[in-house]
Amino acid sequence: MATTYRTVQGDMWDSIAHKLAGTSDVVAQLIEANLDKSDIYIFSAGIELTVPDFNNYAADEEFYPPWKK
């Protein structure tokens, strides 16, 4: 069963990543797991996101969001 996160008003990709993984370095993985919502910048409340397994995160520039490369 996939892990999910339900947004609160004002959530943004980097703040969600930080809440869930303790770092915003996993933003790209979070967005990739939710491509159908990738056009949202600031979330409204109640949007369900799929949370990928951040334990498999490779600290590699390949996974960094474009603004961190």
Q: What is the mean pLDDT of each run of 10 residues along the chain (69 residues)?
A: 90 95 90 95 97 70 60
The pLDDT assigned to 20 comes to 93
pTM over cut 0.85: no
In a domain, 69, yes or no: no
How much is the pLDDT for 64? Answer: 60
Closest CA to 29 of 6, 56, 67, 9: 56
Instruction: State residue 14's pLDDT score.
Output: 95
Q: How many domains does the chain have?
A: 1
**In terms of residue numbers, what domain contains 27?**
3-55
Q: Is residue 27 part of a domain?
A: yes
- Assess if residue 25 is contained within a domain: yes
Residue 19 maps to a domain: yes
Is there a domain that residue 64 lies in?
Answer: no
Contact 6, 46 (CB under 8 A): yes
Hey, what are 26's tokens? Answer: 């996993």
